Amino acid sequence: ATGNEGGGGIFIGAGGTVTLTHNYLISNTSNQDGGGLFCRGEGTAVLYLTENTFRGNQAKYGSGMRIYGVSLFQAANTTIVGNIAEERYGLLFKQTTAWLTNTLIANNQAATLPSIAIRDNSAVTLCHTTVVSNSSAGDEIGIYVSENSNVDLTNTIITSQTVGIANTGSGAVKAHGILWFDVVTSTSGTVTVTQEYTGAPLFVDPVSADYHLRSGSAAIDRGLDAGVTTDIDGDPRPSGSAPDLGVDEYQQPPTLSVSKTGPSTAEAGDEITYTLTISNGGDALTKATLTDTWPLHATFIRASDSGSESGGIVSWDLGMLGSQSSLTRTFTITATRTITNQDYRVSGKWNKQIISATGNVNVVTTIAPQLQLTKTAPSTATAGAEITYTLTVSNTGGLATGVTLTDTLPISATFVRAAGGITPTGHTLTWTTTTLPYQTLFTRTFVVTATAPITLYNRYYGVAAQGGYRVFAPLPIITRVE
């Protein structure tokens, strides 16, 4: 938008009360005053601003804002960045009483007089202010005060300025809690400073106008308690032992953890449900995702909360994972053998970084063996002829260990030989195998003879495995000897 008399974005005249909330005034132009906002209050206007951004505006005077003759100006969470004045002032308060909280003033330019000016009997209080790289006609003064104006600053960062604060008038200018960095001259004129520091503020990305603090910033935990409970983003203040200087309150990075639980045992083919719990003990995380590579030898059934499966990976889009929050997700599979679930993780973005956590506990679900036992022999035989019995153990479940197969010889039969060269103990044959995996067979045979016409009953045979798994003779085997 373009204003010919003033207020390229918004013009406010005398009298009344005006509230501006959640506005973006960007790339507006005024041929006179206030490229973004011009308020000519004539001493009676009251103006409230909350969460407004003034960026890339142009004007002859006061390119971002020009506030003139306002009886009360209150602003919270205000961004004034990259505004250009053809002559004087990027931000101007004149004959105004103002209270500003969480104010970012960066990279504003003016051709002649200082970029940020408070003049003509104004009274301005600034709390939690970040002032960076504002310039005009070579002086690059951070904040310029003149003509009996009074200014009170609390918890301020001023960086990349030739002069931090200049007072050319007779008013009182005070700064309580301030960080200087890359400032040639901290103050000019009469300026009272208490609790001052020097050091790098360590902004996240000042080139992209990201003035959040990084870990190790000299501004962290060095502020005074000014009764401000949130920062420019609405994050809680303080988050550490004391408030941070400037507009941003450094939040502890997300401290992610992911854990997983599931049954320790299951039957082959049963539905097995795993529960993943994600916790975040630090700052909020955005674009969070949770993935779990489900185990080999399993079949995916479903996932909770719109989770999806592709290529053996179950995934969930978690969106924002809030500070001090936790949530759970589940997925269900079936399996026919013992499975180990060990590859699960959560990740997301924080301050342009990828934060992630990986589960460190393997969840093992033991699938019980499913043993079956069959036995065959001829139904008739000739007296004195060899009779062969064949026993077959199969496993359609989890790994069976310590498998023992036994068979008691039929009464009136004469033992001839057995697979593996074993001989009976008493009347019982015993074979063993260390393991019997899923879908494998364990087959053994033995041979007997019988004399005289008789009917042989073979009914005492069975198989057992570690863990108490047993299968006894399902049916007797009957052979008639003639």
Structure confidence at residue 328 as a pLDDT band (50, 70, 90): very high
Structure tokens at 307: 């989770």
**What's the pLDDT tens digit per position in 442-453?**
999 999 999 889
* Distance of alpha carbon 273 from the chain centroid: 24
For residue 287, give the CATH number of its domain.
2.60.40.290
Query: Which residue segment(s) compose the domain that 307 sits in?
Result: 256-367
**What's the pLDDT tens digit per position in 182-191?**
999 999 999 9
Please give the pLDDT value at position 34: 66
Q: Is residue 119 part of a domain?
A: yes
Is residue 207 helix, strand or coil? helix
For residue 429, give the CATH number of its domain.
2.60.40.1510
Q: Are residues 311 and 379 in the same domain?
A: no
Residue 15 main-chain phi, psi, to 5 deg: 75, 160
Q: Which of 155, 284, 273, 274 has the alpha carbon at shortest distance from 222?
A: 155
**What's the pLDDT tens digit per position in 341-400?**
889 999 999 877 899 999 988 899 988 999 999 999 999 999 999 999 999 999 988 899
Task: Work out how many domains the chain is built from and give that number.
Answer: 3
Please give the pLDDT value at position 2: 57
**What's the pLDDT tens digit per position in 268-289?**
889 999 999 999 988 889 999 9
DSSP 268-291: TT-EEEEEEEEEE-SS-EEEEEEE
Q: Are residues 208 and 311 in the same domain?
A: no
**121 contact partners, CB below 8 Å, separation of at least 6:** 95, 147, 148, 149
Q: Are residues 351 and 303 in the same domain?
A: yes
Please give the pLDDT value at position 61: 74
Mean pLDDT, to the nearest integer, of 293-315? Answer: 93
Structure tokens at 305: 């909360």
Q: Are residues 67 and 198 in the same domain?
A: yes
* Residue matched to tokens 């589940």: 330
Q: Which amino acid is at 108?
A: N
Q: Are residues 106 and 176 in the same domain?
A: yes
DSSP 403-437: EEEEEEPPTT-EEEEEGGG---BTTEEEEEEEEE-
Q: Are residues 77 and 177 in the same domain?
A: yes
Q: Is residue 244 part of a domain?
A: no
Q: Are residues 460 and 356 in the same domain?
A: no
**Are the C-beta atoms of residues 106 and 132 closer than 8 Å to each other?**
yes
Q: Answer yes or no: is pLDDT of 315 > 60.
A: yes
Q: Are residues 463 and 399 in the same domain?
A: yes
Q: Is residue 220 part of a domain?
A: no
Please give the pLDDT value at position 141: 92
Q: What count of Cα atoms within 13 Å lies in the side-chain half-sphere of residue 34?
A: 21
Show which of 186, 213, 240 is a domain's final residue.
213
Structure confidence at residue 11 as a pLDDT band (50, 70, 90): confident
Q: Are residues 358 and 439 in the same domain?
A: no
Q: Is residue 235 part of a domain?
A: no
Show which of 367, 401, 436 is a domain's final residue.
367
Please give the pLDDT value at position 214: 92
Show which of 317, 340, 367 is a domain's final residue.
367
Q: Is residue 229 part of a domain?
A: no
Q: Is residue 222 part of a domain?
A: no
Please give the pLDDT value at position 14: 76
Q: Are residues 354 and 377 in the same domain?
A: no
Q: Is residue 423 part of a domain?
A: yes
Q: Answer yes or no: is pLDDT of 6 > 70.
A: no
Q: Is residue 219 part of a domain?
A: no
Structure tokens at 40: 């000519």
Q: Are residues 63 and 168 in the same domain?
A: yes
Q: Which amino acid is at 463?
A: V
Structure tokens at 4: 């010919």
Across the chain, what does the average pLDDT equal?
A: 92
Please give the pLDDT value at position 8: 64
Q: Are residues 307 and 388 in the same domain?
A: no
**What's the pLDDT tens digit per position in 108-161?**
888 877 878 999 999 999 999 999 999 887 678 999 999 999 999 999 999 999
